[in-house]
Amino acid sequence: MDLERSDDQELFRETTRKFLESTAPVSTVRQWSEKEAAGYPVDWWRRGAELGWTSLLVGEADGGGSVSGNGLADLALVAEEMGRLVSPGPLLMTNVVAAALSEAGTAEQRAAVLPGLVGGETVATWCLAEPGRPACGGEAVALEAARQGDRFVLSGVKGPVEAAAEAGHLLVTALVDGRPTQFVVPASTPGVTVVPLQGIDLARRIADVHLDGVTLGPEHLLGEVGDAAAQVERQLQVVVALQCAMMAGAVDEMFTRTVEYAFDRYSFGRALASYQALKHRFADMKLWLEAIHATTTGAVRSVGAREERAAELVSVAKSYVGTNATVILQDCVQLHGGIGVTWDHDLHLYLRRVVQERSLFGTPEEHRERIAAGMGL
């Protein structure tokens, strides 16, 4: 096991961190969340793309390439750094679509979509979830694409979908004759309507995507009809591993700031940090935090290496991180006292980020179901 990051990776992380700190500190993220339609300026995303944010999971033939040879591990560094500053931007969604296209797209599809995504001029998103259904697993998708000659007609609702309003391309997971099939759908296709939802994460946008008689041809198919199960599983693993990295970054940052606060804040003549009960709580939280990093690293590595057990490890990570990151952040709120529940304090932004990631693409409970199912239970 190689837990060390290479020098190149360290440099990449450092570059990402510096760029985020200088261009999008949390105060800026707050401003953008109020005045930018997508939660960020388009040019900022393009500059991030220049740093490699959108090319790590794309093959070199399509203009992509990784830092270390393991693009997912590299991308997890970006996700973690974005978690630290509750950064906006469709990092997970754009990358999972880019990876899927790079792996399974036709030459025409790759040429049509990937340059824009890699260059940061356009973004994409994955439409998996459906209202009222589990967020992952065999029951997640019920949307049927009806055959009409050699064409397919989609009618239904996908949601919540992150970054749907700003996405130029939608990767839609549906069923044809009851079997999973994926379509790459330009957002401008007639019948596609994006209905914004009020999300809990202020920095990012979610929406329902309404599909009303959206008619697609064979050129929109990603891979073969009815043969997308493995693709969908792979995409889920990639997204969930990155979600864990993002949550890990967010909770690590806020834990660090809470420890600093405990040293600065005095009550009854002593620093909060000197009280035994609080020391014990910080020790508990530190333990969970280290385990969050460890299980995330394990999941990222396994998914990156396409191991057979990646499905299990990624669900273990999501289950553990989703549960414990929230517990730690709630305790950070408690330890801050009254200031922790104010709008002005950054805590709620972090709690929002983690709560949203915990729910999207499978709650901890749903991932425990996946683990149990994988064990034959």
Partner 1 sequence: MSRRLFDEEHEQFRGTARRFVAAEVLPHVERWESEGIVDRSLFAEAGELGLLGMAVPEPFGGGGVDDFRFNTVLNEELHLAGCNAAGLGIVLHNDIVLPYLLAYCNEEQRRRWLPGVSSGELVLAVAMTEPGIGSDLASMSTTAVRHGDTYVVNGAKTFITNGINADLVVTAVKTDPSAKHRGISLLVLERGMRGFERGRNLDKLGLHAQDTAELFFNDVEVPATNVLGEEGQGFVQLVHNLPQERLSIAVSGVAAARFCLGLALDYCKQRTAFGQPIGTFQNSRFLLAELATQVEVAQAFVDTCVEELVAGSLTAERAAMAKWWCTELQGRVADRALQLHGGYGYMREFPIARAYADARVTTIYGGTTEIMKEIIGRSLGV
| Residues in touch with partner 1 (CB under 8 A) | 275-277, 280
- Here the tokens at position 151 are 């064409």
Q: Which is nearer to partner 1, 19 or 275 (CB)?
A: 275
CB of 279 vs partner 1, minimal distance in Å: 9
* Residue nearer to partner 1 on the CB measure, 277 or 377: 277
Closest separation in Å from C-beta 270 to partner 1: 11
Nearer to partner 1, 201 or 369 (CB): 369
- Centroid of chain to Cα 320: 16
Reported as type and span, the H/E element at residue 271 is strand 270-271
Task: For partner 1, give the closer residue by CB, 188 or 276.
Answer: 276
Q: How far is the CB of 315 from partner 1 (least distance, A)?
A: 24
**138: Cβ–Cβ under 8 A, 6 or more apart, which residues?**
none
The DSSP 8-state label assigned to residue 273 in this structure reads: G
Cα-Cα-Cα-Cα torsion 331, 334, 339, 340, nearest 10 degrees, comes to: 30
Q: Looking at beta carbons only, is 280 or 286 nearer to partner 1?
A: 280
For the CB of residue 269, give the shortest distance to partner 1 in the complex, in Å: 15
Query: Cis before residue 131, ω within 30 degrees of 0?
Result: no
Longest dimension (CA), the chain: 79
Are 149 and 93 within 8 A, CB to CB? no
Please, which residue, 175 or 278, has the CB nearer to partner 1?
Answer: 278
Closer by beta carbon to partner 1, 183 or else 282: 282
Task: At 296, list the tokens.
Answer: 């995330």
Question: And the tokens for 135?
Answer: 């967020």
Q: Find the shortest distance in angstroms from Cβ 345 to partner 1.
A: 26
28's enclosing H/E stretch is helix 26-35
Residue type, 290: E
Q: How far is the CB of 377 from partner 1 (least distance, A)?
A: 16
Distance in angstroms (rounded) separating the CA atoms of residues 87 and 163: 14
Q: How far is the CB of 159 from partner 1 (least distance, A)?
A: 27
**In whole angstroms, how large is the CA radius of gyration of the chain?**
21
- The Cα 123–Cα 136 span in angstroms is 23
Dihedral of alpha carbons 310, 316, 321, 323, sign: positive
Q: How far is the CB of 276 from partner 1 (least distance, A)?
A: 4
Nearer to partner 1, 179 or 279 (CB): 279
Identity of the residue, 3 or 277, whose beta carbon is nearer to partner 1 in the bound complex: 277
Smallest separation, CB 227 to partner 1 (Å): 38
Q: What is the DSSP letter of 159?
A: E
User: Of the two residues 18 and 280, which places its CB atom closer to partner 1 in the complex?
Assistant: 280
The span from the CA of 287 to the CA of 145, in Å, is 47
- Minimum CB separation of residue 292 from partner 1 in Å reads 24
Rounded Cα–Cα distance for residues 346 and 86 (Å):
9
Please answer whether residues 131 and 179 qualify as being in contact, where contact means their C-beta atoms are separated by less than 8 angstroms. Answer: no
Alpha helices in 120-228 (DSSP H): none
Centroid of chain to Cα 122 = 17
